[in-house]
Amino acid sequence: MLDQNLPASTVDAVAPLEAFALPAEIDGTSGSNRAPSTARQVRADNDVDAIKAWLARFLAKKTTFDNYRKEAERLLLWSTLQLGKPLSSITHEDWLQYQQFLRDPKPASRWLTADGRKYPRTAPEWRPFAGPLSPASQRQSAVILNALFSWLVHAGYLAGNPLALSRERRRRPAPRVTRYLDDDMWREVKMTVDALPRETKREREHYLRLRWLVSLSYVCGLRISEIAGNTMGGFFRRRDREGDERWWLEVLGKGDKLRIIPATDELMVELARYRRELGYAPYPSPGEATPLLLPIGGKPRAMTRGAIHEIFKDVFAKTAARLRLRGPECEAAATHVMQASAHWLRHTAGSHMANNDVDLRHVRDNLGHESISTTNTYLHSSDDARHAETEAKHRIGW
């Protein structure tokens, strides 16, 4: 592990990470790729400590820890011993040179074990390599080191990731994007929202506005234009056949078509919480002109589609950043979430309703799909049944 008591090496000798000592001029304290100190989110002030901070996240997973430490220390040793520069000064050109080195580490006496055996890290015969790396091992090294550099950038230790320009990472064509969030990714988005600070009044308003926006978009499946162009006066109550009063939301949607959407109990709780924070009555009055979403400060004016779009992009970007901090195994999920937009939440709402066995006629009517105008009238389910099934099967689940 990182705290083994091994003798410190000199700069011209290969040694494991936990025993490697560097003079100040190449320890990374003044690396050319260092981020401003004001951006730093870790205490590390040199490259070895920065690598250790990254590795500390994997201490509970021995195999992962060992593999990640191996790749990080190989690059650190090569950079300092072969190039004579700190890890935090590596450029994109250096990275291309390192990829060539992995195919044939030289001089062999410095980098390779004498007989290809694996020696204990405390043994004098220990070396970083047993031989040249296979193409598969080279790709794995690139994945792990890209995760290291990405984390160091997110942590405010490095200004940029020199691996990000590598053609190696674009080797395969990008997979077709599925424009919705599955259950796991949807859960991550909600976790991002719930992690927002709420100590001050402004923080609470930011938190509750985002929570309301995400709830409204998901439960009702609204287009971003419908959020920007409708008001809280669209909420109304109607008594069903059983005598229960149910909340609905009437919206003017695409093609200037009106539709009504079930406003579930969960949604109305979120609305009341948001309105109370702004000093409004819990529930809107008929015809109330208050926009569905308000700027911070509660000014009663509608937000633009662009402003709402940026709120969504910010929460998806924060979710992607959290996923990337978990390591390369979450890179695909992070990339997917990063591409998401407000309209993805509409697709997500429809997909989740269908996957949870909400009648497809109810899904169609909730979302106001264009096909509704050409569908035979007998396929339309009753509004009461649609509300009951949406209430029972389509939940936010905060």
* C-alpha 389: how far from chain center: 32
What is the structure's pLDDT at 178? 56
What is the structure's pLDDT at 22? 85
Dist. CA 259–CA 346, nearest whole Å:
16
What is the structure's pLDDT at 367? 83
List Cα–Cα distances, 205 to 111, 289, 376, 392, in angstroms: 57, 20, 45, 29
Question: What residues form DSSP beta bridges with 249?
Answer: 235, 261
- Read off the pLDDT band of 371 (50, 70, 90): low
Residue 270: how many other CB atoms lie within 10 Å:
20
* pTM of the model as a whole: 0.52
Assess whether pLDDT exceeds 60 at residue 378.
no
Q: What percent of the chain lies above the pLDDT cut of 70?
A: 90
- Read off the pLDDT band of 370 (50, 70, 90): low
Q: What are the extents of the domains in the chain? A: 17-170, 183-393
Q: How far apart are the first and last CA of the chain?
A: 39
Dist. CA 21–CA 205, nearest whole Å:
49
Dist. CA 265–CA 258, nearest whole Å:
22
What is the structure's pLDDT at 331? 93
Dist. CA 359–CA 393, nearest whole Å:
10
Residue 387: how many other CB atoms lie within 10 Å:
23
Dist. CA 349–CA 351, nearest whole Å:
6
Cα dihedral 205, 292, 287, 265 sign: negative
Assess whether pLDDT exceeds 80 at residue 9.
no
- Read off the pLDDT band of 170 (50, 70, 90): very low
- At 247, give phi and psi (nearest 5°): -85, 140
The chain-wide mean pLDDT, for the chain, equals 86
List Cα–Cα distances, 259 to 25, 240, 256, 372, in angstroms: 68, 18, 10, 11
Instruction: Please write the tens of the pLDDT for every residue from 309-323.
Output: 999 999 999 999 999
> Of 62-66, 254-258, 289-293, where does mean pLDDT reach its minimum?
254-258
Residues in the chain: 398
Instruction: Please write the tens of the pLDDT for every residue from 88-129.
Output: 999 999 999 999 999 999 999 899 988 777 888 888 889 999
* pLDDT mean over 359-368: 80
Q: Which CATH number does the domain 183-393 belong to among 3.30.110.30, 3.40.50.80, 1.10.443.10, 3.40.50.2300?
A: 1.10.443.10
- Read off the pLDDT band of 277 (50, 70, 90): very high
- Read off the pLDDT band of 379 (50, 70, 90): very low
What is the structure's pLDDT at 374? 28
Token look-up 């998806």 returns 316
* pLDDT mean over 285-307: 91
What is the structure's pLDDT at 366? 84
Residue 333: how many other CB atoms lie within 10 Å:
19
What is the amino acid identity at position 139?
R
Instruction: Please write the tens of the pLDDT for every residue from 327-343.
Output: 999 999 999 999 999 98
